[in-house]
Amino acid sequence: MDLLPEEFSRRMAAFMGDEFQSFAYSCSIGDRKNALRVTELKTTAKQFYEQAPFKMEPVQWVKNGFFYDYKDEVTTHPFFRAGLYYITEASAMTPADRLPIEPGERVLDLCAAPGGKAFALAGKLKGTGLLVANEVNASRAKALLYNLETLGASNILITNEQPHKMAGSFENFFDKILVDAPCSGEGMFRRNPEAAKQWSAEKVRTLAGLQKSILSSAVRMLKPGGLLMYSTCTFSPEENEQNASWLLNEHPEMEIMEIEPYEGFDHGRAEWADGDGRVVKAVRIWPHRMDGEGQFMALFQKNGMPETAAAKPPSMKTRKAKSKKEQTGTRDLTADEKKAFEKFAQHMTLDMRGKKIEVRRESVYLVPDEMPDFRSVRIIRRGLYLGELRKNRFEPSQSLAFALSAKTFDNICELKGDSGAAERYFRGETISDKSGEGSSKNGWILITYGGFSLGFGKKNGGLIKNKLLYSRRA
């Protein structure tokens, strides 16, 4: 309990009464569990559970979440590098899990970095529709790009923009929105002691105001009939129930909805929101009641029929004077570039239905036909980065490697688990084709482990030159 700020302890003791002692213990030195979420774009929870090289237990309230032993080095395993799972705290998995999403929908993760919730949302979309992942902080946006690149998905738009500016371009645009808001982080004190040191009541009040601004922007971007999930990893009523009550009062078009229950969930507290009984539909996760850290969730629906929403944001209608290519700086492949790309593409099977190829400078992208074009929004990545055009040739990207697998590329080297070749590949070393099994053809080769892609190499004779690449700004 010594780890907790004194003023925080006084506040929570007043709120929690008899539960405070067990709550305070769990927040400071109580047991904690490490967890991961399986990437459903790559595999299923069942398949990964059967294939995983370490012991796991299901997170009972999240369909594709698992606890693992802290002794297992899960972040050094090739499956982690292949993007089969994302390390994230169990309670933090819950908001994305409880936001109902159907394939083909337009989804926004408004405060997306570092990317764990966007992973889950992308898995629900199954490669269809559109996922916009936004992060206002430039350095965190780059980290978001790096993490989401492992998905190998073409239906993702990564942006680096203020929420109120986003709202000006995406009004009435999204079917579903997740706002995992920046907060005082009280629910993560035992995992992040620095957050406890930086805590203050003034910080709570400041962040509560910021969250209101973000929520108002999210409401503007939500279609009538759409759903908005608001979540924080903090206990403060100002950032939770009081903000939920504020949203309902400030935006009468919004209605709070029930969230799929679990026996360990607690409800929102009306007494912490001036008696507003509506907030009892929200969910609280307490660390002394469940195997997770602190979390708050409230699900809202915007009143009105979905078909009344604009098909495209109004800002797109103001750009008739310029073509889409002029707006975005894109062009088509030239005849020679198309020949170079197709020479490489003949080796792969990539679903391009409803998608198009765009060239920006010398970079090649695969984007959905209906990917929005906005010059007013700072874009970090638009679609799947396929690679670079060089003189008379095409150089594939790491993003493209992650979009492929042993089943979709005809020249592979499947690394043997006991050979140490995966470790050498990740160090950037040249590897021998005897380190694995698969095709023996010279040229571009997909390096795989367990059938999942790690990256590219280029084979000449018995050696494979390392072509492991890193993220780049689009």
Residue 233 falls in the annotated catalytic set: yes
- pLDDT tens for 337-363 read 999 999 999 999 998 888 999 999 899
The single residue of 111, 183, 233, 413 carrying the catalytic annotation is 233
* pLDDT at residue 436, as a whole number: 76
Q: How far apart are CA 242 and CA 436, in angstroms?
A: 58
Write down the domain spans for the chain.
90-306, 314-401, 406-466
* pLDDT at residue 400, as a whole number: 97
* pLDDT at residue 30, as a whole number: 64
* pLDDT at residue 261, as a whole number: 97
* pLDDT at residue 311, as a whole number: 45
Is pLDDT at 418 greater than 60 in this prediction?
A: yes
Cβ distance 200 to 150 under 8 Å?
no
* pLDDT at residue 307, as a whole number: 54
* pLDDT at residue 395, as a whole number: 96
**Residue carrying the six token digits 């989804």:** 107
- Mean pLDDT score, 37-53: 95
Closest by CA to 39, choosing from 135, 111, 130, 127, is 127
- pLDDT tens for 320-334 read 444 555 555 789 999
Q: CB neighbours of 24 closer than 8 A, spacing ≥ 6?
A: 1, 4, 9, 12, 13
* pLDDT at residue 462, as a whole number: 86
Q: How far apart are CA 55 and CA 68, in angstroms?
A: 6
What is 314-401's CATH topology? Nuclear Transport Factor 2; Chain: A, (3.10.450)
439: confidence class by pLDDT, cuts 50, 70, 90: low
Is 406-466 in the same CATH topology as 90-306?
no
**Which burial class, exposed, middle or buried, applies to 190 when counting CB atoms under 10 A from its CB (0-12, 13-18, 19+)?**
buried
- pLDDT tens for 389-406 read 998 899 999 999 999 999
What is 90-306's CATH topology? Rossmann fold (3.40.50)
Full DSSP string of 397-429: -HHHHHH-BTTTBSSEEEE-TTSSHHHHHHTT-
CATH 1.10.10.10 fits 406-466, yes or no: no
Chain centroid to Cα 92, Å, comes to 12
